[in-house]
Amino acid sequence: MRGRPTHLPDAVKRRFVEALAGAAVPQAEIAAVLDVTVPTLLKHYGDELRRGSAVMQAKLVGNLLRIASGSDGTALKAIIFSLQCRFRWSRYLPPPR
C-alpha cells in the first residue's frame, strides 16, 4: 500500500475543526494539527470551516455594534470603522451627487 492512509472524519474532529476555525486559526495550522493536507481539510471539513468562521464574524460584529451604541470616543471610532468596512464610507471622498 502506498501513500497516506485514508482520512476518516468523525464528530469529534468536526467539532474541533469548527472551534479552531472560529478562533481564527489558519487552515494550514488546522491541517497540521490533524496531520492532513490543506486540500484534504477542505474536502472533508469545508462546512465546519465556513461555520466556524461565520460564528467568529457574528461575535465580532455583535461586539462592534455593542461598542458603537455607546456615547464615548470609543463608540465614535467603532461607528467610523463600521461605516468604512460595511458601507465603503470614507471621510476623504467627496459626497455622492
pLDDT exceeds 80 at position 88: no
Average pLDDT on 21-50 reads 95
Q: How far apart, in whole angstroms, are the C-alpha atoms of residue 26 and residue 41?
A: 12
| Cell numbers given for 16 | 474541533
Q: What is the pLDDT of residue 28?
A: 97
* Amino acid 1: pLDDT: 67
Mean pLDDT of the chain: 88
Q: Where do the domains of the chain lie?
A: 11-87
**What percent of the chain shows pLDDT beyond 70?**
97
Q: For residue 89, which amino acid is it?
A: W
Higher-scoring residue by pLDDT: 70, 31: 31
What pLDDT, on the 0 to 100 scale, is given for residue 26?
94
